[in-house]
């Protein structure tokens, strides 16, 4: 298999990452033979074809959806706005690396505090206006204007100053160094629309223009003939349908009424795989479930109690039962194998009733009962997960009471209120974003109320560190700290399962979001 032709084939079909490809070509002494054109378009395999209508049936649409990039709460608007209509300054490729999109290139000072972005020239909005630095600054400020509801506000607030140096150059000054700033700018909220317009109108730079949008029901888009990427957006039309019932999605795909569906039914996906004409796609992304303990509340303020509970979970069994095998065991920290600095050498925590007993005894709490709060709203199967937890913990002499909470209002009344509860996390594509969102001292979603001085110190240091090796070391240490001393049990990472007609083709899937980083409409095409 190690002939250049075979490697190229593997690479084009997405079975080999760009890095692996170059490494193995170099091993053959052939690095110089690699065509720059081939590497320039890493996600593309053999000659995509233009045309056709892509019909996506997606879970996660609501009648309250809007096109406002600041309020993108579920899969349907996210795929529509970020994946179909709009672009950010950068995008994340299939290997998890930031690539230029509306930006052409960037550079930073050594402390990662000041960044200069050069913009692509000749990019046109759907309304015909040409994009320049003013539009970018306006679009970023959209998220921190007076009375904003944008979830991206904290991201933009980290920018102290945005200066237009010339119409296609912007200088950013950050409050503190952030080596991941190009990642931040790939966020799906931070898309660019024309200056002084209402961004909720859906006018952006993307490969398609929105024709009709009925929130939660249907969006219909046609190809933007002036799209600045010639090698993307292959379809003539894109139709996104909100289908929240998983059986309805499955039937619609089976009967050919849609071409792509997200979130397959775990119960029937093994049957689905056997059907002719259907491809099932698995992405191991960042999505994970946690059992969050409030470290500021007794008895969870005692690390031995937390360790006892961590040892009392049978992670393999949970992945097998709750996820039906479509996922990976967690190691009590929120960093996924899809992240760049995942600590693969960290020993996997195993179910160990004896160690659990030992730590519980050390905490002097051998008779204690723990109330675990869960609801299906936390994540699908959360209550079942609680019941499994109860069973395995019982073998270690730990009594767990599973309290079933109402779905309605779970995030307001249970999460961050009850001392021990089930939580869903979509995860983040960078270690820094994940840790800063939920593990740093005092941040809004620090649901374990955790405060670890060494961890907090490392977080700031790693953020500004541009040296890869040093940075990796810091993030590995942080994962270890969370795993051993943090307030979360992370039993499992859930894979994303999507299915599509096998007439569709795509390169290696990006793992940052579902459906190729929400970008299926832009990146996929029909086979000829």
Contact residues toward other proteins (CB under 8 A) are 57, 62-66, 73, 147-151, 153, 212, 214-218, 220, 241-248, 250-252, 254-255, 257-258, 265, 267-268, 271-272, 376, 383-384, 404, 406-409, 411-413, 415, 424, 444-445
Residue that is written with structure tokens 């003013």 in the block: 134
Non-local (6+) Cβ contacts of 187 within 8 A are 88, 152, 155
Residue (of 421, 424, 391) closest to 297 by Cα position: 421
For residue 234, the minimal CB distance to other proteins (Å) is 22
For residue 262, the minimal CB distance to other proteins (Å) is 14
Cβ closer to other proteins: 123 or 243?
Answer: 243
Per DSSP, what are the bridge partners of residue 403? 373
Alpha-carbon distance values, 433 to 303, 334, 443, 481 (Å) = 25, 11, 12, 17
Residue that is written with structure tokens 């349908």 in the block: 241
Residue (of 523, 524, 522) closest to 85 by Cα position: 522
What is the rounded CA–CA span in Å between residue 213 and residue 223? 15
For residue 406, the minimal CB distance to other proteins (Å) is 5
Cβ closer to other proteins: 399 or 407?
Answer: 407
For residue 188, the minimal CB distance to other proteins (Å) is 13
Cβ closer to other proteins: 258 or 335?
Answer: 258
Cβ closer to other proteins: 29 or 147?
Answer: 147
- Reduced to 3 states (helix: H, G, I; strand: E, B; else coil), residue 96 is coil
What is the rounded CA–CA span in Å between residue 315 and residue 372? 17
Cβ closer to other proteins: 296 or 457?
Answer: 296
For residue 72, the minimal CB distance to other proteins (Å) is 10
For residue 61, the minimal CB distance to other proteins (Å) is 10
Strands 278-283 and 420-425: unpaired
For residue 217, the minimal CB distance to other proteins (Å) is 5
Alpha-carbon distance values, 465 to 289, 295, 369, 473 (Å) = 29, 29, 44, 11
Cβ closer to other proteins: 244 or 279?
Answer: 244
Cβ closer to other proteins: 340 or 380?
Answer: 380
For residue 398, the minimal CB distance to other proteins (Å) is 21
For residue 136, the minimal CB distance to other proteins (Å) is 23
What are the respective helix, strand and coil percentages of the chain, to the nearest 5? 30, 20, 50
Cβ closer to other proteins: 363 or 416?
Answer: 416
Cβ closer to other proteins: 361 or 404?
Answer: 404
Token pair in block for residue 299: 């008895």
Q: Which one-letter DSSP state was computed for residue 15?
A: S
| Strand spans (E) along 460-519 | 488-494, 496-501, 504-505
Residue (of 251, 207, 202) closest to 230 by Cα position: 207
> SS3 sequence, 365-383?
CCCCEEEEEECCCCCCCHH
């Amino acid at each position: 298999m190690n002939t250049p032709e075979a490697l190229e084939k593997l690479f084009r079909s997405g079975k080999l990452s760009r890095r692996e490809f170059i490494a193995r070509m170099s091993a053959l002494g052939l690095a110089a033979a690699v065509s720059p054109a081939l590497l320039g378009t890493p996600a593309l395999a053999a000659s995509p074809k233009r045309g056709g209508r892509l019909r996506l049936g997606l879970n996660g649409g609501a009648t309250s959806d809007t096109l406002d990039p600041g309020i993108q709460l579920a899969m349907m608007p996210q795929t529509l706005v970020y994946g179909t209509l709009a672009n950010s300054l950068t995008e994340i490729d299939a290997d998890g690396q930031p690539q230029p999109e509306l930006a052409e290139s960037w550079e930073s000072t050594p402390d990662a505090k000041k960044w200069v972005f050069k913009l692509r020239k000749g990019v046109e909005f759907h309304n015909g206006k040409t994009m320049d630095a003013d539009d970018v600054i306006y679009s970023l400020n959209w998220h921190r204007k007076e009375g904003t509801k944008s979830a991206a506000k904290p991201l933009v607030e980290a920018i102290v100053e945005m200066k237009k140096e010339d119409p296609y150059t912007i200088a950013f000054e950050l409050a503190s160094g952030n080596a991941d700033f190009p990642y931040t700018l790939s966020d799906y909220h931070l898309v660019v629309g024309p200056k002084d317009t209402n961004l909720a109108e859906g006018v952006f730079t993307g490969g398609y223009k929105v024709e009709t949008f009925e929130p939660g029901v249907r969006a219909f888009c046609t190809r933007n003939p002036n799209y600045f990427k010639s090698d993307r957006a292959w379809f003539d039309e894109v139709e996104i349908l909100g289908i929240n019932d998983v059986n309805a999605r499955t039937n619609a795909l089976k009967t050919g009424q849609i071409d792509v569906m997200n979130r397959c039914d775990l119960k029937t996906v093994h049957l689905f795989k056997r059907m002719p004409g259907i491809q099932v796609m698995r992405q191991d992304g960042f999505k994970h479930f946690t059992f969050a303990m409030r470290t500021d509340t007794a008895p969870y303020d005692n690390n031995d109690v937390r360790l006892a509970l961590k040892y009392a979970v049978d992670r393999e069994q949970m992945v097998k039962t709750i996820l039906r095998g479509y996922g990976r065991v967690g190691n009590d920290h929120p960093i996924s194998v899809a992240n760049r600095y995942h600590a693969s050498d960290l020993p996997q925590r195993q179910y160990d009733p004896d160690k659990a007993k030992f730590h519980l005894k050390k905490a002097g709490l051998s008779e204690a009962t723990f109330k675990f709060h869960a609801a299906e709203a936390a994540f699908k199967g959360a209550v079942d997960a609680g019941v499994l937890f109860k069973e395995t913990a019982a073998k270690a002499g730990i009594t767990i009471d599973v309290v079933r909470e109402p779905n309605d209002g779970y995030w307001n009344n249970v999460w961050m209120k009850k001392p021990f509860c089930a939580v869903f996390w979509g995860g983040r594509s960078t270690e820094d974003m994940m840790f800063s969102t939920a593990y740093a001292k005092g941040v809004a979603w620090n649901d374990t109320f955790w405060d670890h001085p060494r961890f907090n110190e490392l977080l700031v240091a790693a953020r500004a560190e541009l040296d890869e090796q040093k940075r990796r070391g810091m993030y590995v240490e942080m994962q270890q700290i969370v795993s051993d001393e943090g307030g979360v049990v992370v039993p499992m990472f859930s894979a994303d399962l999507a299915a599509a007609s096998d007439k569709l083709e795509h390169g290696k899937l990006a793992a940052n979001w579902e459906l190729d980083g929400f970008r299926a409409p832009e990146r996929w095409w029909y086979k000829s």
